[in-house]
Structure 1
Amino acid sequence: MIVPDFLSVPERPAKPRQDGITHVIDTGVTPAGAADVLRAAGDAVDIWKTGWGTAYVDRGLEQKLALLRESGVATCLGGTMLEIAWCQGVADACLDWAAAVGFTHVEVSRGTVAMDAAHKRALIRRAAGRFVVLAEVGTKDPADTPVPALWREEALADLGAGAALVVAEGRQSGTVGIYDDAGAPRAGVVEELAEAVGTDRIVFEAPRAAQQAWFIRRFGPRVNLGNVGLGEVLSVETLRLGLRSDTADLHAAVRPVP
């Protein structure tokens, strides 16, 4: 492959990255589909989350996780499945299974079931001994208007309990949590979290191109973006590198044509 090197673009840190993370959501792709994504964009994928409870019914899961492990991509069990397991009193069985099949990360959240913050922190502590924990802040209820100070408090407590990263809820729709129902970022919540935790420890769920561009314009190309669709990985990379009009003015030194 002849790799182009004639443009001036921001330097991307090598994997495993500590920032500039691209966290993708898998809603049920086959192992062959995962292989296609990795062939085209594997260098740009850092964390691969199996969402929507698909891990429980995906009979190609172990093959897919092995493929991701070989490609140097971290694998994360989505938080809703663990929430349901906790609600049914089988959280430890869920974590045992996740370790056995090969997940490296788990998401701990309380956006679906009625779980208080103390129980969430206890679940983080139970998971942190075996996994890298991503603690999600916020709910999936579109009627829930976030209070920035409460998000700040929860994020700091989750990190104190052993979480490695905080995930700012935006859902796959991009219309809850850090976004209003039209998909516009709630800047007050975003800024509160960033000031409290630091952007290197937050994954901002940003499924829409306009949302991805907003975060890159606000925090730079090394912001961590989550819930990126498998078909959008390369387009996010072009936003980070200033190869799209949405962010070109941030990174490119444009010279007139002679």
Structure 2
Amino acid sequence: MPIPESPRFLRTAARTTKPRRLGITHVIDPGTPLAGIEALVEAHGAFVDVWKSGFGTAYVDAAIASKIELLQAHDIKACPGGTLLEAAWLQGRTEAFFDWAGGLGFDCVEVSRGATGLPAAAKRDLIVGARARGFEVFAEVGSKDPRHEAVPHEWAEEARRDIDSGASWLVAEGRESGTVGLYTADGLVRADLVDALEGAGTDAPVVYEAPRREQQAWLVNHLGANVNLANISRDEILAVEALRRGLRSDTLRTRLAAACST
């Protein structure tokens, strides 16, 4: 789907186009009805790259197969939440999970260990297994537990091992709250963790879960308009695109300066 034609009287930040590995917008969906998704992707699908059925919603959604078909028709990858795979691992049902996800037509899976304390070695085994089944893998680094200390060099090492195991993307944990993992309890970005992932020495793109506007703005201002952003609300698709281009006050000066310098 081509990006809709925009007015040309302003210089805005240059954006990549789909299919892309930089500048993706990765939406998290808590359970939007099929008709609602259809309306959203018809209007804004050109700006969305990945649509994740959050946590375990795909498992209880009778319309999930139709949603996947709709998303793929708009060149949007469909992905189940990483928590669902962790639940399958906890019950010894990972092969059944992969059978189910593949049968529905999911393009990719998220492999995480932030909800269950899944050992790092077991996580890598899941990545290998997912790749063998033909899934594109988003490997998430970080814990959902606010008591767990996020250590930059540990994140970087886990990221390298995940990529060596076959993951295509790295995901920095932030949850839907934006208060754990990549962020402090009050939602501030941990620049040391960003630096660790950006300097991990892999060719894989990093996707930053950034549910809050101020977090999105920090990442755009520091890493550019084509930073990969995830856990974007389905209601904020167009707002995030405007933010990327310097058309919100949070990024206007930095993105305008960048656009005018080219």
TM-score normalised over the length of structure 2: 0.93
What SS does structure 2 have at the residue aligned with 1:227?
A: strand
Does residue 98 of the first structure (1) align with residue 64 of the second (2)?
no
Counterpart in 1 of 2:127? 124
Are the aligned partners of 2:44 and 2:238 in contact in 1 as well (CA < 8 Å)?
yes
What SS does structure 1 have at the residue aligned with 2:200?
A: helix
The within-5 A match list for 1:46-125 is 46-125=49-128
What SS does structure 2 have at the residue aligned with 1:204?
A: strand
RMSD: 1.5
Are the aligned partners of 1:24 and 1:45 in contact in 2 as well (CA < 8 Å)?
yes
When residues 127 and 92 of structure 1 are mapped into structure 2, their CA distance, relative to the original with a 3 A threshold, is: same
When residues 24 and 100 of structure 1 are mapped into structure 2, their CA distance, relative to the original with a 3 A threshold, is: same
When residues 23 and 197 of structure 1 are mapped into structure 2, their CA distance, relative to the original with a 3 A threshold, is: farther
Per-residue CA distance 1:15-37 (angstroms, 9 max, x = gap): 11120011010110111110111
Shift of 1:11: 2.0
Shift of 1:94: 0.4
Q: 1:148 aligns with which of 147, 152, 156?
A: 152
Counterpart in 1 of 2:233? 229
Are the aligned partners of 1:200 and 1:223 in contact in 2 as well (CA < 8 Å)?
no
Shift of 1:198: 6.2
Does residue 15 of the first structure (1) align with residue 24 of the second (2)?
no
d(CA) in 1 for partners of 2:98 and 2:36? 26
Counterpart in 1 of 2:194? 190
Shift of 1:114: 2.9
Any unmatched runs of 5+ in structure 2? none
Shift of 1:154: 0.3
When residues 216 and 200 of structure 1 are mapped into structure 2, their CA distance, relative to the original with a 3 A threshold, is: farther
d(CA) in 2 for partners of 1:74 and 1:55? 14
d(CA) in 1 for partners of 2:126 and 2:21? 24
Equivalences, count:
254
What SS does structure 1 have at the residue aligned with 2:85?
A: helix
Tell me the amino acid that sits aligned with residue 212 of structure 1. Answer: Q
What SS does structure 2 have at the residue aligned with 1:188?
A: helix
Are the aligned partners of 2:174 and 2:183 in contact in 1 as well (CA < 8 Å)?
yes
TM-score normalised over the length of structure 1: 0.95
d(CA) in 1 for partners of 2:62 and 2:143? 29
Any unmatched runs of 5+ in structure 1? none
Does residue 160 of the first structure (1) align with residue 130 of the second (2)?
no
The within-5 A match list for 1:216-255 is 216-252=220-256
Per-residue CA distance 1:57-106 (angstroms, 9 max, x = gap): 00111111110010000111110000010111110110111011010010
Shift of 1:251: 2.5
d(CA) in 2 for partners of 1:146 and 1:28? 30
Does residue 5 of the first structure (1) align with residue 22 of the second (2)?
no
What SS does structure 1 have at the residue aligned with 2:20?
A: coil
Are the aligned partners of 1:199 and 1:223 in contact in 2 as well (CA < 8 Å)?
no
What SS does structure 2 have at the residue aligned with 1:196?
A: coil
Q: Which runs of 4+ in 1 moved over 4 A?
A: 197-200
